[in-house]
Amino acid sequence: MNTSTNRRIAVVGLGAMGGAMAATLHRAGWDVTGFDPSEAARAAAADTGIATTAALGDLAGTPYAVLSLPDASIVETTVPQLLAEPGTVAIIDTTTSEPATSKQMADLAEAQGAAFVDAPVSGGRDGAASGSLSAFVGATAVALSAAEPVLLALTGGKYSHIGGPGSGNVVKLLNNVLAAANLVSVGEALGVAQAYGIDPAKAAASISEASGGSFVSANMYPNWVLTGTHDSGFSLGLMARDAALAVDVAVQIGESPTLLAAVAGRWQDALALLGPRADFTEIARTVAPAITPAGAPRTNGPVDGTTAVA
């Protein structure tokens, strides 16, 4: 497999997460070139001192590449273009993708002497900006070794090698569907507290110190729901997709997770009401609208990619 001490790296996808990861790599001394089809995203990256290109083909053969893309289908079209020229050492895919796609891309890269690892991340914009993300890594041992310098820069060593190619995707999808379930259950619980005349913020703080507590109750609800800001930077459309994908992956291997399937259905209902661009924490508006200043969504609002505002 290719090896390199070259610090040149491509970042493909300069949205909220990709742009922050590109900036982190730039500060860590990597020679970063970013690509995004959006001129605005490229301009935002350029403002932080990152070189950009409007043509993905310009990045072919770059020793290292980080992908931060919307879905598996774009991963499938991107990786062959990066491998079109010799020189690639490792491609680190932080996309919440599909395990079958990651297995195919890992085989494609290996055939050309390169590494491909699925390394979907958790930690949001703040983690991406500070180099403190968590990553769920699926890779062979050889591929992991090739990708490790980049993983260390993005996570500070806070990554878990789950298993072979595709396994990182599986565990990330399970993580997200569990978070999706918790967002619903905590919202319903705090709605009950409010109905009893209890301050939901106090209820959330108390629960967070006990056995029912979680990151959702301790952070997401106090910071984004109860304040009404709903500005996590992660969309409801992406969370609804991830919950559905988690159930699909389970079904493909003969499992029938009934509770998780019900959760995925709840997110599809919210998606129909709020649209894919709503913040994912706005699920609370459909679960317990009384606890968020944004209130319940309009039932007759637009759902074609815009957020219905109460």
pLDDT value at position 304? 39
**Active-site residue list:** 172
35-52 burial code (b ≥16 CB/10 A, e <16): bbeeeebbebbeeeebeb
Rounded to an integer, what distance in angstroms lies between the CA atom of residue 190 and that of residue 176?
21
- Sequence spans of domains, the chain: 8-165, 169-291
Give every CB contact of residue 170 below 8 A, 6+ residues apart in sequence: 99, 138, 162, 249
CATH of 8-165, one of 3.40.50.720, 3.30.1330.10, 3.40.50.620, 3.40.50.300: 3.40.50.720
Rounded to an integer, what distance in angstroms lies between the CA atom of residue 121 and that of residue 236?
17
Per-position pLDDT tens, the chain of length 310: 665 568 999 999 999 999 999 999 999 999 999 999 999 999 999 999 999 999 999 999 999 999 999 999 999 999 999 999 999 999 999 999 999 999 999 999 999 999 999 999 998 888 999 999 999 999 999 999 999 999 999 999 999 999 999 999 999 999 999 999 999 999 999 999 999 999 999 999 999 999 999 999 999 999 999 999 999 989 999 999 999 999 999 999 999 999 999 999 999 999 999 999 999 999 999 999 999 999 999 864 443 333 332 2
Question: What's the pTM value of the predicted model, to 2 decimals?
Answer: 0.89
pLDDT value at position 22? 97
Contact 135, 119 (CB under 8 A): yes
Neighbours of 258 (CB within 10 A): 8
pLDDT value at position 21? 97
CATH number of 169-291: 1.10.1040.10
Q: Residue count of the chain, please give it.
A: 310
